[in-house]
Amino acid sequence: MISSDDKAIVEKVFYYPGDRVEANTVIVAMNNPELVRKVDQARFELVKHKASMEEKKLQDQYTLLEQEQTIHNLRNQIQLEKLNLTHSLSYIRKILFQTLILSVQR
């Protein structure tokens, strides 16, 4: 007598009572719709989780690119401000020099 703890449907019988078999030989093929459903659900959850992880990875990559672009823009802005400051200082020196020259001439 063959027994099983799970409710399953016998799909195919490979050996019958009285047939000689070796240890670990598959005797019958059984189908358990509930277990199949659980496996399918677990596979679905795994695919869903992988997709969620991939989406998170892509979001993180996008955020990183945005932050790198912000850093690049800020560095460019700093360079521009340095140039403006240099230009302003040069202009102020020129005005001060002209003022000094004029005051010395008087």
Instruction: Give the pTM.
Output: 0.57
Query: Per-residue pLDDT for 1 more than 80?
Result: no
Model pLDDT for residues 67-78, shown as the tens digit of each residue? 999 999 999 999
Question: Quick one: which of 10, 12, 8 has its CA closest to 34?
Answer: 8
pLDDT for the residue numbered 6: 74
Give me the percent of the chain exceeding a pLDDT of 90: 85
By C-alpha distance, which of 28, 25, 31 is closest to 6? 31
CB within 8 Å of 34: residues ≥ 6 apart = 7
Task: Give me Rg for the CA atoms of the chain.
Answer: 40
**Per-residue pLDDT tens digits for 62-106:** 999 999 999 999 999 999 999 999 999 999 999 999 999 988 887
At 59, the pLDDT band (50, 70, 90 cuts) reads: very high
